[in-house]
Structure 1
Amino acid sequence: MDHLVRLEQGRAEHPSASTVAALARALQLDQAERDLLFRAAGLLPPAASLINDHVPPSVHRLVSRLHELPLAVFTAHWQLVMWNRIWIALHGAPTGTSDTQRNLARAVFLDGFDDAPFRAVRPVAGRTQLDTAQVADLRLAATTYPYDPELARLVSDLRAGSEHFERLWSTGAAAQHTSDTKAIDRPTVGELVVDCAVRVIPGADLRVVTYSAASSSPDAGKLELLRATDTVPTTNAAATNA
């Protein structure tokens, strides 16, 4: 957050677009207020033809109030932009990681699930369903945002770095990733098996990912124990992801 402090103190005269976008998220601005902030910084607001990483206030409220379930917010190209405390308890803190490390597609096809913020996750049905859904959703994004340079760079890197991704990409399938079942292994509670639901926010093209377990099940008990033994700092995790 040091770059935001410099901006507020007037020591950063030419903030980058990513810095201004992070500040807009931290301040929970709506889209009109975000665009005004961009112009005040001497930058053009993101074009409608580009992937939008702005998180509207309604989604901020959703993240802050659904504190009982692990929850994270992703852009249309699966860049992690917001999370809550129990997500950190499961996967590790995203703060301090690079932008490339926060991209779920890169974790799936290039980097694996060994490090934060996606560590220790395993699809119960195997990788086939997850991989196919991830590629189909990225292709949908590429169809929606054909001129987005960050998305084009991501797809190029994945095609060059993963033969598996290239084979799936060549099928041409396009669809939204909606649900899955995942196993997550944590030293404090052991393995949890949770339902993973993906919901797209209308008008924002954001993906909200939540984990849940059936009430009174052993896995629900493990989630509760994880919340009770959570050692993440009490600062709002969702507001510190810039």
Structure 2
Amino acid sequence: MKVGLFIPCYINQLYPQVAIATLELLEKLNVDVYYPSTQTCCGQPLGNSGYEEDSKGACQLFVENFKEYDFIVGPSGSCIYHIKKHFDILEQTPEVVKVRENAYELCEFIVKILGKTEVGASFPYKVGLHKSCHGLRGLNLGSCSERMEPHYSTEEDLLNNVKGLELVKLNREDECCGFGGTFSVFEEAVSVKMGKDKIKDHLDSGVEVITGADHSCLMHLEGLINRDNKPLRVMHIAEILNKTL
């Protein structure tokens, strides 16, 4: 299978270590990975702000960059959700349909397509998992506490097989962190309060490292942690799954 590696713009600019970890992890799993060098933003920021028509160019360019691959894999649930759900603004050509149907968040790709839950990682820390709203309720990467359904989580499946890692159960494990893209700009006070509540839950639970599959949420939490000098580290799940001793 040919896999196109999609690196969201904010990861490319601010967290290149997450992109590197994603690539190295996929290569360790013997995936044939390609990186289209002309890729740009998937259009999510414009779409989230109500400018979907203005995002069509970015969306169409994304399709052009990734239409030749069997799968598109990215370390961002929110961006992948945008591709799968909001590229309906484009004419549904075979290329657009193919891209939408074959775009996968990293953890989902490893568990559901590669059929793996153990990737040879080692990380001897107490870890708290932040389940982002787009990944949890959009991509259905895990069960939601408000629904009466059997528990499942692709992220937990992977983390529970990391040697030495203790996955800490939180009190409010699938509550929003308050980021929400431009929500954190237009509703700053509410966003900050939600983020601080989320951080307190991790601290109260004895967490050493917060992880998740959406670095946009982690960026929001990390900013609040650093501003208040809280004793927590923040790492994308790709970085943990790529760690070995």
Q: When you count helix as a share of all residues, which structure comes out higher?
A: 2
TM-score between both structures, scaled by the size of structure 2: 0.28
TM-score between both structures, scaled by the size of structure 1: 0.28
